[in-house]
Amino acid sequence: MDVLLDKEKKVLSIKMPQDIDVKDFKSAKEQIDKYPDISEVKLDFKDVPYLQSKLIAELIGIKKYSISKDIKLTLTNVQEGVQQILEISDLLDHFTIKRDFGSYSPHELSYLLLDPEMNEAVIEYIASNFNENYAELLEQFFVSDDPVLIESAILIIGKSHNYGYVDRVKDCLDSPYPNVVRSAILVLGWFGEDSCKNKIYEFLKDEHIDVAEAAAATIALLSDENDSIAIKEYLSSSDERLRKIAIQALSLINDDFAYKFLVEHLKVENNETLRVQLAKAISYFNKPEVSDILLDMLKEDSLKIREAAASSLIRIKATDRVDQIMALVEDKDVWVAYFAVKAIGALCKEKRCSDQLEKIYSKVDTQVRIAIIESLGNIGQDVSEFLFQLLEDPNEDIRKEALNSISRMNKDLAIESANNALKDSSWVVRFKAIEILEELKPDGFKDTLKNHVKTETNRYVKEKIFSIVGEL
């Protein structure tokens, strides 16, 4: 059987037959020659269950041929048997392998939807390419008794903005399947379907947390000035889960009423988990008092609450609270100190901040040291001399972060250090070095990487280099 062709703009797709043989690769090469304007060739292996060893040489040949013509080669829909052969032949890193749902019939796609790992990607694909064939497929899904297919149909409708199906989606609010109800609630929110809002309120109390959270999100999407007031009532519920959903909904609505109600509720809420959630929720409001509230929460006894408050400090722009946050960088709880250091890195650009972090460096735990190095890079003051010493540290993460921060303040030193770091014993450091060389692009860096890959043993580093130099 001969190869099948499809050319769209500068991309040539070649479908390889099930009984693939040497002649099919020759034929593929001839087809590439016929289209001098193409920039990418996709070899589709959807129907190929296995590749004989003799065909590996042909595949390498076509890869080299495409490189010589400056054409990107992508293998699509590679089955497990073929992938295994490529891996055994140590060739997996040399090929770009992707899924291309365009090769699948609607019926085949419906089968892929049942694979949890594929489901989301298939929904996205069908939604982006919606046509009459897929409309027929949706009809089949709706009459099936499979909740996964019905849920997928609803999400496809939502993502393809097919408003014509809105009544169908509304009907699904009465489905016995929670995943179907959840998706219907979400899609009605995307459609701005106000007429359903009262009914969606009922789902805030749903026993399935996913359904209740979807209801909170949709009410927020459909909200007007009355919704914060309506949801406030739930904050006084004795049901802890309902209070959690109400906090979530108010955070999403994000208006002045919602802020006021959350701050008031913080004064009376005793549940530790919900106080953690309140710290995060309040930090999403752009209000000057938020930093004071979070700093107050840092005085509480609960570690979880303190950590939530500290991590939320990174999110707010409290540049006038740097000194108070700096007081936390040696906190007895290592994660509070970690978040405080990161917050300093995000808020302060002054030398006094980098000086202070340098000063405490030797007194703190490893993860706080790592955060200090990262923050020094963010602050941007030239502390490359201090960081340069850390490139000899026995800890790989210290060396990696030092390398990264140097790259943010001293380009020449970063290039020199990154080139040296290619010899580092830790692959995470070598990986970072390659990222830095890729970003700074010094003269001849691709040749450096090509030389390095000959002796590189780590799969992730090799993959990274191949993604940059793109050569076999």
Binding site for other proteins (CB under 8 A): 50, 79-81, 84-85, 87-88, 97-99, 114, 116-117, 120-121, 146-148, 176-179, 213, 217, 220, 247-248, 251-252, 254, 276-277, 280-281, 284, 307-308, 310-312, 314-315, 334-335, 338-339, 365-367, 370, 397, 427-428, 431-432, 435, 460, 463-464
C-beta of 267: minimal distance to other proteins in Å? 20
| Distances, alpha carbon 24 to alpha carbons 1, 72, 155, in Å | 8, 19, 39
Query: Whose Cβ is closer to other proteins: residue 319's or residue 366's?
Result: 366
Min separation Cβ 220 and other proteins, Å: 8
CB of 49 to other proteins, least distance (A): 8
Minimal distance, residue 111 CB to other proteins, in Å? 11
**Taking the complex as a whole, how short is the minimal distance between the CB of residue 366 and other proteins, in angstroms?**
5
- Residue 156 contacts by C-beta under 8 Å, 6 or more apart in sequence? 123, 126, 127, 130, 134, 138, 162
Of 11 and 148, the one with the shorter C-beta distance to other proteins is 148
Is residue 188 within 8 Å of residue 196, measured between CB atoms? yes
Q: Which two tokens stand for residue 72?
A: 């990107």
Taking the least distance from each CB to other proteins, the nearer of 55 and 276 is 276
CB 389, min distance to other proteins, A: 21
Of 100 and 382, nearer to other proteins (C-beta) is: 100
Distance in Å, CB of 145 to other proteins, minimum: 9
- Encoded tokens for 298: 């840092």
Question: For other proteins, which is the closer residue by CB, 146 or 323?
Answer: 146
Q: Which is nearer to other proteins, 3 or 216 (CB)?
A: 216
Q: Which is nearer to other proteins, 38 or 462 (CB)?
A: 462
**Shorter beta-carbon distance to other proteins: residue 32 or 86:** 86
Do 247 and 262 form a contact (C-beta atoms < 8 A)? yes
164: number of Cβ within 10 Å = 9
CB of 342 to other proteins, least distance (A): 8
Q: What is the 3-state secondary structure (H, E, C) of the chain?
A: CCCEEEEECCEEEEECCCCCCHHHHHHHHHHHHHCCCCCEEEEECCCCCCCCHHHHHHHHHHHHHHHHCCCEEEEECCCHHHHHHHHHCCCHHHCEEECCHHHCCHHHHHHHHCCHHHHHHHHHHHHHCCCHHHHHHHHHHHHCCCHHHHHHHHHHHHHCCCHHHHHHHHHHHHCCCHHHHHHHHHHHHHCCCHHHHHHHHHHHHCCCHHHHHHHHHHHHHCCCCCHHHHHHHHHCCCCHHHHHHHHHHHHHHCCHHHHHHHHHHHCCCCCHHHHHHHHHHHHCCCCCCHHHHHHHHCCCCCHHHHHHHHHHHCCCCCHHHHHHHHCCCCCCCHHHHHHHHHHHHHHCCCHHHHHHHHHHHHHCCHHHHHHHHHHHHHHCCCCHHHHHHHCCCCCHHHHHHHHHHHHCCCHHHHHHHHHHHCCCCCHHHHHHHHHHHHHHCCCCHHHHHHHHHCCCCCHHHHHHHHHHHCCC
Task: Write down the least CB distance from residue 340 to other proteins, Å.
Answer: 12
Nearer CB in complex with other proteins: 373/383 = 373
Length of the chain in residues, anyone? Answer: 472
Measured from the CB atom, the residue of 36 and 176 that comes closer to other proteins is: 176
Rounded to a whole number of angstroms, the minimum distance from the CB of residue 131 to other proteins is: 25
Q: How far is the CB of 357 from other proteins (least distance, A)?
A: 17
Shortest separation between residue 2's beta carbon and other proteins, angstroms: 25
Residue nearer to other proteins on the CB measure, 5 or 334: 334
Q: Could you tell me the CA-to-CA distances from 208 to 182, 233, 242, 356 in Å, in that order?
A: 9, 20, 11, 49
Which lies closer to other proteins via its Cβ, residue 79 or residue 419?
79
